[in-house]
Structure 1
Amino acid sequence: MASITSPSPASAAAETKTHANYVWALVALTTLFFMWGFITCLNDILIPHLKSVFQLTYTQSMFIQLCFFGAYSIISLPAGALVKRISYKWGIVSGLAIAAAGCALFIPAAEYRVYALFLGALFVLATGVTILQVAANPYVTVLGKPDTAASRLNLTQAFNSLGTTLAPLFGAFLILSAATVAAPDASPEQLDAIRTAEAAAVKLPYLILAVAFLVLALVFAALKLPSVKEDEEQGEQLPGRSAWSYRHLVLGAIGIFVYVGAEVSVGSFLVNFLSEPTIANLPEADAAHYVSYFWGGAMVGRFIGSAVMRYVDDGRALAFNAVISAILLGITVLTTGQVAMWSVLAIGLFNSIMFPTIFSLALHGLGRHTSQGSGILCLAIVGGALLPLVQGALADTIGIHMAFTMPIVCYLYIAFYGSIGCRPRSL
Structure 2
Amino acid sequence: MQVTNQIDNPNEASGEQGSGKKYLLPFILITSLFFLWGMAHGLDGILIPHLKKACQLNNSQSTLIDTAIFFAYFVMAIPAGMIIKKIGYKNSIITGLLVFAAGAFLFVPAANSTNFELFLFALFVIGCGLTILETSANPYAAILGPPESSSTRLNLAASFNGLAVTLAPFLGGAFILSGINYTPEQMVAMSEATKVAYFLEEASAVKLPYIILGTILVLVAIIFYFMHLPSMKQPETENEVKPGFFSVLKFSHLSWAVVAQFFYVGAQVCVTSFFVRIAQKEAGLDEKTAAYYLGIYGFLFMVGRFSGTFFLKFVKDYVLLSIYCVISVFLCLVAIYGSGISIIYALGGIGFFMSIMFPTIFSLGLVGLKSNTETGSSWLVMSIVGGAILPYAMGTLIDMKHDDIQAGYIIPLVCFLIILYFGLVGHKVKKSL
**TM-score, normalization: structure 1?**
0.93
Q: Is 1:206 aligned with 2:197?
A: no
- Superposition deviation, residue 280 in structure 1: 1.2
RMSD of aligned alpha carbons? 1.8
Q: Which residue of 2 aligns with 1:215?
A: 219
Taking the aligned partners of 1:75 and 1:405, their CA distance within structure 2 comes to 30
**Which amino acid is the alignment partner of residue 35 of structure 2?**
F
Is the 8 Å Cα contact of residues 179 and 288 (structure 2) preserved in structure 1? no
Structure 1 residues 248 and 338 mapped into 2: Cα distance closer, same or farther (>3 Å)?
A: same
In the TM superposition, residue 181 of structure 1 has moved relative to its aligned partner by 3.7
Gaps of 5+ in 2: 1-11
1:65 to 2:66 alignment: yes
- Distance (Å, rounded) in 2 between the aligned partners of 1:409 and 1:207: 38
- Distance in 2 separating the partners of 1:40 and 1:14: 36
Aligned match for 2:288, one of 281, 285, 289: 285
- Choose from 397, 406, 425 the match for 1:394: 397
User: Is residue 262 of structure 2 the alignment partner of residue 257 of structure 1?
Assistant: yes
Q: Comparing 159-168 with 293-302, which one deviates more in the overlay? A: 293-302
Identity rate of aligned residues, in percent?
A: 40
Give the match for residue 33 of structure 1. Answer: 34
Q: In structure 1, which of residues 338, 342, 346 is the aligned counterpart of residue 341 of structure 2?
A: 338
Q: 1:31 to 1:389 in 2, by over 3 A?
A: same
Tell me how far apart the structure 2 counterparts of residues 33 and 156 of structure 1 sit (CA, whole Å). 7
Equivalent residues of 2:14, 2:145 under 8 A apart: no
1:169-227 per-residue CA deviation (whole Å, 9 max, x = no partner) reads 01001100264547563211111111111111111000000001000100011110111
Where does residue 233 of structure 1 map in the other structure? Answer: 235
- Name the CA shift for 1:14/1:309 in 2 (closer, same or farther; >3 Å): closer
Aligned to 1:195: 199
Change (3 A) 1:101 1:339: same
Task: Name the CA distance, whole Å, in 2 between partners of 1:179 and 1:108.
Answer: 23
CA distance in 2, matches of 1:268, 1:208: 23
Distance 1:409 1:236 in 2: 43
Alpha-carbon contact 1:239-1:426 (below 8 Å) kept? no
Change (3 A) 1:265 1:77: same
Given candidates 387, 399, 421, the residue that maps to 1:416 is: 421
Task: Indicate how the Cα distance of structure 1 residues 87 and 179 shifts in structure 2: closer, same or farther if over 3 A, else same.
Answer: farther
* Partner SS state of residue 256, structure 1: helix
Secondary structure of the residue aligned to 2:284 is: coil
Q: Which residue of 1 aligns with 2:110?
A: 109
Superposition deviation, residue 68 in structure 1:
0.4
Question: In the superposition, relative to structure 1, how do residues 56 and 316 fare at CA in structure 2: closer, same or farther (>3 Å)?
Answer: same
1:239 CA displacement: 5.1
Structure 1 residues 97 and 237 mapped into 2: Cα distance closer, same or farther (>3 Å)? Answer: farther
Corresponding position of 2:4: none
Gaps of 5+ in 1: 1-10
Whether the aligned pair in 2 keeps the contact of 1:54 and 1:115 (CA below 8 Å) is yes
Which aligned pairs between 1:4-403 and structure 2 lie closer than 5 A? 15-177=16-178, 179=180, 181=182, 183=186, 185-229=189-233, 232-234=234-236, 241-242=243-244, 243-276=248-281, 279-398=282-401, 399-403=404-408
Q: Name the count of aligned residue pairs.
A: 413
TM-score of the two chains, using structure 2 as the length reference: 0.92
The one-letter amino acid paired with 2:106 is: L
**CA separation in 2, counterparts of 1:14 and 1:382?**
37
